[in-house]
Structure 1
Amino acid sequence: MLTDSPAKFLLVDDHEPNLVALSAVLSRDDVEMLCARTGREALELLLQHDIALAVIDVQMPIMDGFELAELMRGSQRTQHVPIIFLTAGPQDNLRRFRGYQAGAVDFLYKPIEPDVLRSKTGIFLDLYRQREELARQRDTFITLAEEKARLLRERDEANRRLRESEMRFRTLADSAPVIIWMNGPAGCEFVNQTCLDFLGIDHLSQIDVFDWASHVHPDDRDQAAAVYRKAVEGRTRFEASLRCRRRDGTYRWIRSVGMPNLSADGEVLGYIGASFDVTESKEAEERLQRWSVDLERAVSQKTSELLQSQEQLRALATELNLTEQRERKRLATELHDYLAQLLVVVRMKLRQTIPLVTGERIPELLKDADHALTQSLDYTRSLVAELTPPTLKEFGLLQALTWLATQMHRHGLAVTVRQDAAPLPLPEDQAVLLFQSVRELLFNVLKHAKATEAAIVLTVKDDNQLEVVVADDGCGFVTAPQNRPGTTANRFGLFSIQERMAAMGGQLVIESVLGGGTRATLRTPYWNSREKPEDDDT
């Protein structure tokens, strides 16, 4: 619905060619383009004109698009102007979120599709026209209602003045583009020409015998009647939405608003009101609801896919950990079965040779070589133990943790191991993952906790949960994630342990007090290796 004056679009960009291009894309007969190259120019135009839509470039010197939008939202005159942001920068969700937070209704990236931009601006232009029209209709209705109520209260005045006023009211009502009606004690007393055209009634005199209920949708009759009766009983404003049958047989959504016409004694003489056709608005609202449902469905689907990907990544990470341990075991076996044995043979041969040689320096040099071979053999055995402790496979998790405690003693950390349960015959994969997690936790204690003592406690709970606690007497930390100290590598180490435990159906719980030490608890479902379920994938 057109108004007398064209709507105005505000285009803000610090590059003149961009303004020219935008003006060309959005140009239409019923829209006036106002261009500004700076935020200050834009604010001056906003104070001088009523703007239907602002299209603002984000990246501008002195005052960028976000700052301009915040100033607009801070002014009562401009706070309801819709804003579309344009940017040539990379697609960044944080920038998009900041744009919507600043009050934007849309956020587009250059290069802009002209048809998309025209479509979006067209929607906001239609909304602006509708707001203007509704405001004008509302003002017209209020003026007419107040005028009619005043005339009714002053009906004791001269008949000539009353007739002239009634004629003026009818003229104004018939020229209004909305339905205007007036009810009295005996029923409907007046409707304007717009209402007659809507209902298909030829003359106002026929309104006395008109059956209003027959034109209201059956599903809305009782509710509309109840709302009207309640308004009459309370002498309050009447407002209802209902479907009404037009002269062509189609039902249209009508929103009716009425005010009570009171006598000098406060009695309700009737209601004066207006009705607006809001079918297009209802359809738009239903479309938005459908889109919202579709969006929620899409989000739910993506969430499900992400959860599935997380499970796959977790399984892959677990398999990588197990593969690492198998490779460690293979390397340790190679070192033990080949290199260590070869070094032993060489040392034996060397010791057999020493008594057979003569000379002053040769026996001494051979002894030095024997000593070097002994050191090499010791280092090889140590390296084998570092790669994969033989005790883990041969004697189980408890003995492997005891061996690990002795290794920590060499680094200056006194570690005690206690088992509050019967011997733990765990499956090999579960034992390997738990041993690796405890070892990483102890090295974290060495690097970050400034602790002198630590303890490892193994417990089997009543609910078949194996609990391994690693506690220290170190400096502790604040457990809130945003305040937690440590390097990125340290945080990733804890994350990898969490994922490892989640893959086994368990969890990692960190409890720490600043200055009071840290307690890390590993919980995982426990099966005796002789009672483990047949499905190893569980």
Structure 2
Amino acid sequence: MSSLEQSDCILIADDHPANLLALEAVLEPLGRPIIQSSSGVEALRYLLDHDCSLAMLDVAMPGLDGFETAALIRSRERTRHIPIIFISASARDEMHVFKGYAQGAIDYVVKPFDPDVLRAKVTNLLALYRRSEEMRREAALRGRERDELREKEQEARAEAEAQRQRLHTLLVQSPAVVAITKGREHVFELVNERCQQLLGSRQVLGRPAREVLPELLPQGVWKSADAVYESGNAFVGTEAAISLDEHDRGEPQRRFFNFVVQPTRDPAGNIDGLMLHAFEVTDQVRARERERDAIRLRDEFLSIASHELRTPLTPLRLQLQSTLKCLDKGETDAADLRPRLELALRQTVRLGTLVTDLLEVSRISSGRLTLQLEEMDLAESVRDVAERHEPEARNAGTTISVQTEPVIGRWDRLRIEQVIANLLVNAIKYGGGLPVRLTVERADGGARLTVRDEGIGISTEDQDRIFDRFERAVSVRSYGGMGLGLYIAQQIVDAHGGRIQVRSARGEGSTFMVDLPVSRE
């Protein structure tokens, strides 16, 4: 008998070797391991330590016949679900058939049999057995999960009660502001020492929150508290302002607090009140207000300038260096020199335009961006940008391929080329020296630009944030840059009424798709 231990095998038992070989030949095309047993005892011995997906038993075996062997198989919990087919050389007899089905047989086959029919039956039984096993395993798993959930629920209830007792002990001693209210009117039931100290001479306990702190009404704090009481979902508030006379000197001061409102529950699990936890952030707010505007303007301008000026400067420098080398070697004449200088001139014009418009870029964060719309061919701009970045691509050891069809629309040429350049520069930078492909086509009634690289790719968790300002999916030390390119690209595309998407996975390259409407009023 074979020593195979696969659970998807077919066990055949017959005391005639020729019958075993014949059955194996018939079943071999099914691709399942076949275990041969020359007797019922040998088949049972195999099933003591192994599993199988189907048992085919000869009825007339010496010693234990097929019926007795089937009965013993059915008597064991581990093997009682194995489907059984009886095989008999005698003519079909109703009593034999009845006895076979009584022993749990799935089918009864009389020799000689049609090989194709037998294979079809076996195939169907194996499929049914597989589904039955999956259902049994699923049911067992669900049972264990229910037991675990029930146990966890009991543990959680006990832990919650213990936590409630500990929390009550710690509330009064907390250095933060802590208060507990009851009911829909949020009547104060408990306040700790820090809370009472800040509120000074105000009467708190036993009074509704709206009466104790009416200055929080216009800020929506108590509406948020109502929502917490109704929904059971905690609320986090920031920089709620309140005028407090902490030392009762008649000199109230405007103070700011971050706070959390969360529901409290009775033993039945019903919401019966709220717990408010707050800590003061007045110093941070005042310091930020003093510095916020100046720092924001300075940082946005410097960051955008340092990133965006590099886009036209790099191909311009490379073009001039190439021209100088040709001049030094005497490999060019005036006719060759002119197109090189014209290309460099176009770059300086673009650079000058970028410098002029950099102040407008700072308005992106507030949703204001000036667009100079004109009729243009997106394919032409893609080819132009790709040509300008050829030297950069060569230096990175990569190639740029462009496949376009004319797509005419009304867009801001400078800004659209800025989007193309930002995506292309990223593809070259993160492409690992592999080819970069740019395509332009009509799609869904608009224009679609696709930039594809085969580089390091972007993980799923990073794809939602790479379009945010200063966000990057890689280390600054490894790749440099300020994390502004995709942010600016998205804002420009949004301003045109378009959409930018990314499809990527770590180590599988990235594909950026820009969809633009072909006309815009």
> Structure 2 length normalisation: TM-score?
0.31
TM-score (norm 1): 0.30
The structure with more helix, counted as a fraction of residues: 1
Larger radius of gyration: 1
